[in-house]
Amino acid sequence: MKYTRLSALLMLFAFPLSAQNPLRPCFKLPATVVCAPATVTPIDCSGAPPNLIVYDYGDGQLRLEKSFTFTRPGRYSIRQGLNTLGAGGNFSEPIELVVLEPRSPVFSAQVCNERRAIVRIMDNHFPTYQIDWGDGSTQLAQSNQTYQHSYNAEGNFTITVKGITDGDITCGTASQRIEVVFRIPAPVLKSVQVLADGRARISYTLPPGFAYRLRQVNILNNAVEVFDLPAGSTSFTAPGVTSAFDRYTYSIEAVNPCAPNSSVNYLNQITTHFLRVIPMREMNRISWTPPAHFGFSSYTLFRNGVKIGQWSDANILQYEDRDITCGERYCYRLEVSYYNGIAISISQEECFTTPLISNPPPLREPMASVINQQVQLTWQVPERTRIARLLARRMLSGQTAREITLPQTPPPFVDNNVFTSTDVACYQLSYIDHCGNQAPWTPTFCTTVLTGSISGDSLLLNWRPLNGYRLIAYTIEQLDEKGNIVNIFRPTGQLSLFIPVDNFAQPVLHFRLAALVHTTGGTAVLYSNTVRLRLNPSVTFPTAFSPNNDGLNDTFGVTARFISKFSLQIFNRWGELVYYSDNPAQRWDGSYKGSIVPAGIYALVIQAEDALGRPVEYKATLLIAK
């Protein structure tokens, strides 16, 4: 029906032609594969006048136009038609035209060793491809084929692949930048760790743009397995389970795409290591496997995540851990450093609980000091010691030693059952660990007692010897009402100290003994009880003076200590008050009503109080001489 319609259309353009010169449709296409949008101009070979030639460009319509633009990709049947009035065929055989969609070709480019590169065309959209290697070289290529190229120098190059149609028309372009190298860069093998399930996890850094694989070698039987490493990955877990009898060496090699069966190898081997832990009384014995290749740097042993030993001698394969506690769970891990720490082999962690039988060490640095008139006990617990019950023995003079259980709290412990002003208290400490084993009692350590008294114009302090410590020196500290140190005295004797009372401006004094003792980590200060002493108030004065302006004893005055209220009265023989003062610092020049009083005997009365209201009173005679 379509061609009947076409014939009818051709009749509209018909005119007579000579029967002796029949014409037949004939045309060619300049290209049978083009890229949209494409303008196609058929080449006529019929010899007919142009006005008798029409074309069907694949859509069933006859056109006199001798060119047509195809905008949509697809396959089109192109026909030529002639108006010959029966002198020949009106239509040619169709020619198929393929109009391709423009798109980028799909290809992969990989760098090989020795400045080579490989390109694989993974596209079948175009009949032909062209590879531009980026160094001025080009090469025609076909779909699903692989091509190699050698470069004269290292550096960055851009490989471009073009999709080519008939007539050398480019219908799509894709590019990839590569770095051409003489040797594929080495990966960094960081660590090999044996996991809890026995598998090995390998950590690494892979240079981008290259393919690498992991080589696993069984040291026992030399069996080899190879695993491809995903690009951009940083770790890989080998699927096989290792054991103490099947040790493995791991290395990472580069894939050479130009010669897939010939790998690029590097000096980056790491071997797995295994621990063996044997619990014994009072210690754990740990042993491990030696290196299986060169590059060893050091062993580092960890217990519960804390480093407990490090050795640079590859022949050291055992360690005895004696710093353990019964009933404790310990986990050991070995890290073996290779190539000066660039790579580490980490063993599987071995964990177990130590036996309950042990000899717990004694408490360290036991001390007794008096704080706020109460005994405070301090001590140090050995590392990794778990105490179930803390014990103390208290020994007072004339009493039977008493054993007490201390609360399960950190030190200090305050013992408020000791009269620290009179009793020297001695102690020993011990404990029962959580496994039921009792530690030895510590050596005996004691407090001291400070006493004080006032005799005349001197203050005397005495103290008991301090036992149970390595004494360095004693000092006497004077304290204020708030307990702050206001003065320090360094006694020349070992157990007593005299201090003149004139050294003090306050009537109430507080003293304590401070003993400096040696400790394992340095020194410590231990204190005695605090002694409180009160100095008596006093007023002193001369019994005569001579107000004659000779420069000797011309005035009269008193010296008062610890006085808060004061009055001084002087009477003549007739009972007349000739002088009064309420200031103990004021002095009398012997005058009364503007004149010097006559020489003779006068009565003196002093009435005073100290800060506590205690009265002080003196009645005496005063001689005034000329």
Closest by Cα among 203, 212, 204, 130 to 163: 130
Beta-strand pair 559-561/595-596: unpaired
Residue for token digits 């690494």?
204
Backbone angles phi, psi at 393, to 5 degrees: -110, 125
Torsion angle, CA of 330/333/334/340, rounded to 10 degrees?
-120
Strand partners, 296: 338
User: CB within 8 A of 534, min separation 6: which ones?
Assistant: 507, 508, 509
Q: How many residues does the chain have?
A: 626
Nearest to 432 by CA among 480, 399, 375, 387: 387
Give the chain's domains with CATH numbers.
2-100 (2.60.40.10), 107-180 (2.60.40.10), 188-271 (2.60.40.10), 275-353 (2.60.40.10), 364-446 (2.60.40.10), 450-534 (2.60.40.10), 538-624 (2.60.40.10)
Cβ contacts of residue 613 below 8 Å, gap of 6+? none
Q: Are 226 and 214 in contact (CB under 8 A)?
A: yes
Query: So what's the pLDDT on residue 84?
Result: 66
CA–CA dist 496, 448 (Å, integer): 13
What is the pLDDT, as a whole number, of residue 518? 96
3-state SS, residue 370 = strand
Q: Could you identify the residue written with the tokens 């026995």?
A: 198
- For the chain, which residues score pLDDT lower than 50? 1-20, 87-88
In one-letter notation, the amino acid at residue 103 is R
* pTM for the full predicted model: 0.50
Which pLDDT does position 6 carry in this prediction? 44
Please give the structure tokens belonging to residue 486: 């206001």
> What confidence score (pLDDT) does residue 624 get?
93
Residue pair 103/125 in contact (Cβ under 8 Å)? The answer is yes
Q: Supply the pLDDT for residue 89.
A: 54
pLDDT score recorded for residue 503: 83
- Give the per-residue pLDDT at 492: 85
Contact (Cβ atoms closer than 8 angstroms) between residue 99 and residue 35: yes
Query: Which among 477, 473, 563 is positioned nearest to 523, based on CA atoms?
Result: 473
What beta strand segments (E) does 14-57 contain? 27-28, 33-35, 38-40, 43-44, 53-56
Residue 562 and residue 507 in contact, taking contact as beta carbons nearer than 8 Å:
yes
Enter the DSSP assignment of 464.
P
Q: 3-class DSSP state for residue 366?
A: strand
Q: Which residues is 438 bridged to in the sheet?
A: 432
> What 3-state class would DSSP assign to 541?
coil
Q: Is 4 helix (H, G, I), strand (E, B) or coil?
A: helix
How is residue 314 annotated by DSSP?
T
Task: Write the CA distances from 408 to 205, 411, 425, integer angstroms.
Answer: 52, 9, 22
| Maximum Cα interatomic distance, the chain, rounded to a whole number of Å | 191
Nearest to 446 by CA among 372, 520, 373, 526: 526
**8 Å CB contact between 141 and 172:** no
The string of DSSP letters for 74-130 reads: EEEEEEEEE--TTSS-SBPPPEEEEEEPP-PPPEEEEEETTTEEEEEE---SSSEEE
The dihedral through the CA atoms of 489, 493, 495, 497 has a sign that is negative
Q: How far apart are CA 374 and CA 394, in angstroms?
A: 14
Tell me what pLDDT residue 5 has: 45
Q: Output the pLDDT for position 268.
A: 87
